[in-house]
Every structure is written in C-alpha cells, then in structure tokens.
C-alpha cells in the first residue's frame, strides 16, 4: 500500500506494508466513503498484528473500534470480519467515540446475543466470547 504525504510543497510517497487484515479493513472503510489517516493505519495494524501474535484474532468474530479519529465510517466496520454496524437514530460521533441513549440512538451491530449463546443445546459447544472494546491513543515519553 502506498501512503502519500506532503514534504514542503512536494507530494511524496512511501510504501508501507500492512497485515492483510489491516489492508482489508482500510479498503472497507474507504469503500464505505470513509478515510483512514496514516497514523490510524499504523495503530490498527499494530493492534491486528498483536492480536494475531497472541492468538486472539481468530478466536473472536467481530471487533468494532468505537473511537480513534473523527471519521465515523472507521467505527462502523469491524476489524475482524468487516461486518458493518448501522447507526440508528443519529448517535453523536466524535474522536472519543459514540454518544447515544441506548434506546433510540445506538449502533445496530446486526447480531443478537442468541447468535453467540444458544439458549439450549444437547451438544457441548465452545462459545465465542462477545468482546466490546475501544482503541485509545497513549503517548509514550522516553
């Protein structure tokens, strides 16, 4: 993937190699009409590589990042399965994430708890955990 940046008045490019899952998420956000900064691409790539490195990426089916940058399309596309959440009732979105009221303003993830936890079963079934999380930015000073 090639990232473009300005150096003085010149437009320059740098070739950056992201994990395939990161590239798929970036492409999904852009296809939905959103944008992802170079900084956010690096953050998402670091998260995905770390999750994969610890064996956690394949154990969950969905992971939405509700905050990060001011482009709400990033928050509506999960980084694991590229599922799209739908904004219901116009919840407010800012750099810190969504603000809704839980009843008429919320994100519809398109899933139900019963999709993950069967009410009854006679077979032993390994249940995937439902994981809700947020990506935050931490500044490290050396």
Residue 92 has a pLDDT of 82
The residue among 53, 57, 74, 75 whose CA lies nearest residue 66 is 75
Taking only the tens of pLDDT, the chain with its 142 residues reads: 656 555 555 655 566 789 999 999 999 999 999 899 988 999 999 999 999 999 888 877 788 887 667 788 888 888 988 988 888 888 888 777 778 887 888 888 887 766 655 544 444 444 444 444 444 444 444 4
Residue 66 has a pLDDT of 74
pLDDT tens-digit readout, 12-44? 556 678 999 999 999 999 999 989 998 899 999
Residue 49 has a pLDDT of 94
The token duo for 43 is: 């953050």
């Amino acid at each position: 993937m090639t990232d473009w940046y300005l150096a003085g008045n010149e437009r320059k490019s740098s070739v950056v190699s992201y994990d395939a899952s990161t590239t798929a998420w970036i492409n999904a956000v852009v296809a939905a009409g959103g944008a992802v900064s170079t900084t956010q691409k690096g953050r998402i790539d670091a998260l995905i590589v770390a999750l994969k490195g610890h064996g956690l990426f394949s154990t969950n089916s969905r992971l939405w990042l509700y905050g990060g940058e001011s482009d709400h399309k990033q928050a509506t596309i999960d980084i694991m399965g590229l599922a799209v959440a739908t904004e219901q009732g116009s919840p407010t979105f800012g750099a810190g994430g969504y603000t809704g009221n839980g009843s008429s303003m919320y994100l519809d993830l398109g899933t139900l708890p019963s999709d993950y936890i069967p009410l009854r079963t006679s077979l032993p079934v390994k249940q995937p955990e439902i994981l809700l999380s947020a990506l935050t930015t931490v500044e490290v000073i050396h």
